[in-house]
Structure 1
Amino acid sequence: MKASREASSFSADSWGSGSSLERDLVLTQEDFARIRQLIYQRAGIVLAEHKREMVYSRLAKRLRHHGLTRFSDYLSRLERQPEAREWEAFTNALTTNLTAFFREAHHFPLLADHVRSRPGPVRVWSAAASTGEEPYSIAMTLSEVLGSCAADAEVVATDIDTEALARAEAGIYPLEQVHKLEAERMRRFFQRGTGRQAGLARVRPELRAMVAFSPLNLLAPSWPVNGPFDAIFCRNVMIYFDKATQAKILERFAPLLKPDGLLFAGHSENFSYITRTFRLRGQTVYTLASSSTPASGR
């Protein structure tokens, strides 16, 4: 009964979708070039030329919020105030958050096998946590494989997008998204919303307690995370960086992994030609080149 009362206490207001925007603002080619330069400097994101329409639709909301009609005016304000909070909104707007529970499902049995008999508390870092589906999938996997020892496990979840991270920390998802999970996982790890919250589901407190959320820019000079980790998930984010940036980030991952730790990459990412620090162990799974773990050859 208590869980039912808790499930009906959260708000569904944040799940509305915005309407399409009219073309009433001025975005010149020069403005677009400045935006591409600024987001690269701030977050390492390389915006392709064909992303212009996406940039317009996402940043137009920020211009309207400030009562501006020209992108050039908005960008000048940003450049004059390098510490302004608007930089956070600018970065959030241009960050892509495409994710799902147990996305690239072959990674999670590999994680389970890796941590099954490891000594001491297990620690995993989700370095691009987005709206939370990945770190919660990791936490579910650890809970299933470690049993009562899962209470000592920790999933560190970070992301540059503070809005996405806030949604992740709330742990509230549309029910149709949660319905894609196995029935047992739905019952064990989620509370179903009732009343005004019908159609939503919330991560149960015991699973939520396994995950520690914090904002992190992978380009920042220092990271608010401490290793060592048994595994690092950095999936489908490196594709937005150029190879030089990818190489720097991979080098910084290395000392944060345990000697036999695993680095999970996205299905379209290949680190073999970027750094010698990591070597391919399996399908989009890497280990430190100095590790004695034999490569699978897959």
Structure 2
Amino acid sequence: MTTATLAESHSIASSLGSLALGDNEFEFLRDFVYQYCGIVLGEQKRQLVQGRLLRRLRALGLKDFAGYCEILRRDPQGELGELASVISTNVTSFFREMHHYDLLVDELLPRWLEQKKKDGGRLRIWSAGCSTGEEPYALAMVLAEALERTGSKVDARILATDLSPQALEQARAATYALERMGGISEARRQRWFLRGEGAYEGYAQVHPRLRELVTIQPLNLLHDWPMRGPFDAIFCRNVVIYFDKPTKQRLFDRYAGLLEQGGYLFLGHSESMYGLSDSFDLVGRTVYRKRA
């Protein structure tokens, strides 16, 4: 597709202002999103999808939603990440649902590090649906602190994945506005962030030590997973709320297959595994342990 001229872009933007997402296009998008992302778009989401997609149409220089649907038909994978960014809400923060991190610090990390120091094993945590990176870097903070506290040389890593290319770009940049760092204690800000100056005044970047612990990769949870595991813990918080029951069941079964025996799965505060899997026991607030 050729890039629109400035005049053409202005004309397109003006014409898009009153454009409505028609029934045929919305039905196509609903089917497409469910097939490729596992996300159910109800009728109540139509206005939200319409408003967010208008920005994408402007970026692509398209005149209507039919043209966007045609792009999806021709090259589903090429536009999939951008569409996922449009329809999902990347709301996240550092140390969101602090009780999960308390469990890691007080119980799980000391136990895992001690055991792996004895048997030479690896420690692996997966942030599935990492969004813009706050979750995996918060995990890296408590992991790095546990490694320092125990003097452990354990091979420990965090995998962070997401479908949204925009979210992954921010996560890789690891640079955050200071107002987004409210969940971080002053001591941790001093220890794990580099304060920006000049053009970066008002921002801070994650310390290289933490960035070394985190591997960031694109991944569609509905497609093949290249990693073999096993993982000691998987964080999949505020992700499955978008999925229907069969998709959740398949996802939880796949998580169970990648977790260590006795490994932990962390869900979001409004999510539950009740009636969806026989592979886990509820052991805390939205914390599940894989059965032996």
Q: Which band: TM-score by shorter chain?
A: 0.7 to 0.9
Take 2:266 and 2:82, find their aligned partners in 1: how far apart are those partners?
29
The aligned counterpart of 1:5 is: none
Contact 1:142 1:150 in 2 (8 A): no
Tell me which of 204, 229, 232 is aligned to 2:231: 229
How far apart, in 1, do the equivalents of 2:83 and 2:30 lie?
Answer: 12
1:111 Cα shift? 1.6
Counterpart residue number, 1:193: 196
Identity of aligned residues (%): 45
AA of the residue aligned to 2:50: Y
- Size of the alignment, in residue pairs? 269
In structure 1, the partner of 2:43 is 49
Equivalent AA in structure 2 for residue 252 of structure 1? R
CA deviations 1:222-246 (Å, max 9, x no partner) are: 2022211111101110010001000
Deviations 1:204-254 (A, max 9, x none): 10111100010111100x202221111110111001000100000111111
**SS in structure 2 opposite 1:209?**
helix
Q: Relative to structure 1, is the Cα distance of residues 279 and 144 closer, same or farther in structure 2, using a 3 angstrom cutoff?
A: same
Matching residue of 1:95: 88
Q: AA paired with 1:154? A: R
The answer to whether the 8 A contact 1:97-1:130 is kept is: yes
**Partner in structure 1 of residue 172 of structure 2:** 169
**Offset at 1:151?**
7.1
Native 8 Å contact 1:228 1:258 kept in 2: yes
Which of 262, 268, 277 aligns to 1:275? It is 277
Q: Which moved more, 1:143-152 or 1:236-245?
A: 143-152
Of 69, 72, 75, which residue of structure 1 is paired with 2:69? 75
For the 8 Å contact 1:122–1:230, the answer to whether it is kept is: yes
What CA RMSD, in Å, does the superposition of the two structures yield over aligned residues?
1.9
The question of whether the paired residues in 1 share the 8 Å contact of 2:265 and 2:289 is answered with yes
Task: Spell out the pairing of 1:10-159 with structure 2 (5 A cutoff).
Answer: 23-83=17-77, 85-112=78-105, 113-118=107-112, 119=116, 120-147=121-148, 148-149=151-152, 152-159=155-162
SS in structure 2 opposite 1:100?
Answer: coil
SS in 2 for 1:72: helix
Name the amino acid aligned to 2:96.
Answer: R
Partner Cα separation in structure 1 for residue 76 and residue 203 of structure 2 = 39
Say if 2:211 is the partner of 1:218: no
| 1:266 Cα deviation from its structure 2 partner | 0.7
Q: Distance in 2 between matches of 1:255 and 1:59?
A: 36
Q: What residue ranges of structure 1 are gaps of 5+ in the alignment?
A: 1-20, 291-298
**Counterpart-to-counterpart distance in 2, 1:266 and 1:179:** 19
2:241 is matched with: 239
- Whether contact under 8 Å (1:232, 1:264) holds in the other structure is yes
Q: Does the residue aligned with 2:28 lie in a helix, a strand or coil? A: helix
Long gaps (5+) in structure 2? 1-14
Relative to structure 1, the CA distance from residue 254 to residue 180 in structure 2 (aligned partners, 3 Å threshold; closer, same or farther) is closer
Provide the rounded CA distance (Å) in 2 between the counterparts of 1:177 and 1:64: 29
- Partners of 2:153 and 2:184 lie apart in 1 by 20
Shift of 1:256: 1.0
1:46 CA displacement: 1.0
Q: CA deviation at 1:47?
A: 1.6
SS of 2:45's equivalent in the other structure is helix
Q: Is the 8 A contact 2:16 2:54 kept in 1?
A: no
Measure, in 2, the Cα distance between the counterparts of 1:167 and 1:276.
36
2:11 maps to which residue?
A: none
User: Cα deviations across residues 142-169 of structure 1 (Å, max 9, x unaligned)?
Assistant: 1122214377310000111121011111
What is the CA deviation profile of residues 43-96 of structure 1, one whole-angstrom value per residue up to 9, with x for unaligned ones? 11112222222211211122122322221221023213334x223322222222
